[in-house]
Structure 1
Amino acid sequence: MQIIIQLDAETARQLDEIQKHTNQEYTLVIQQGIGLYYQQLQPHRQFYMETKKHYELVGSAPANTSAN
């Protein structure tokens, strides 16, 4: 996938600083940043999936349709 982006001055400065400090290509710096962000989202995703599964199970209980 090819992506073309425009960075604001502060983000560009941060990217330059990371690149100079690590001596990695910009592409690798960005890929690793996305990887770290993805890892941070995983606990939230797991919680969402467990919560959704719980409510689907609760919602699937048959309704009481008997009339008294």
Structure 2
Amino acid sequence: MQLIIQVDAETARQLEEIQNQTNQDPALVIQQGIGLYYQQLQPHRQFYVQTKRQYELIGNIPVNSSSN
């Protein structure tokens, strides 16, 4: 995927500073940043999926309707 982005002056300055300190291509810096952000989101997503599954399982538990 090819992206064309526009960033504000402060973000551009930060990106330039990162590039100067690491000698990395700006595209690689952005890719790594997206990767880190994605990893941070995954635990939240997993929690949501697990919680949803638990509620679905609770709803599917057979109820013993016989009363003695």
Name the TM tier (shorter chain).
0.7 to 0.9
Q: Alignment partner of 1:58: what SS?
A: helix
Distance 1:25 1:56 in 2: 46
* Alignment match, 1:4: 4
Distance 1:21 1:55 in 2: 49
Distance 2:11 2:55 in 1: 40
CA RMSD of aligned residues (A): 1.9
Gapped runs of 5+ residues in structure 2?
A: none
Q: Which residue type is aligned with residue 40 of structure 2?
A: Q
Percent of aligned positions with the same letter in both sequences?
73
TM-score normalised per structure 1: 0.82
* Alignment match, 2:13: 13
TM superposition shift of 1:43: 1.1
Q: What are the Cα deviations for residues 11-35 of structure 1, in whole angstroms up to 9, with x where unaligned?
A: 1111111111110001100011011
* Alignment match, 2:36: 36
Distance 2:62 2:36 in 1: 43
Q: Which residue type is aligned with residue 45 of structure 2?
A: R
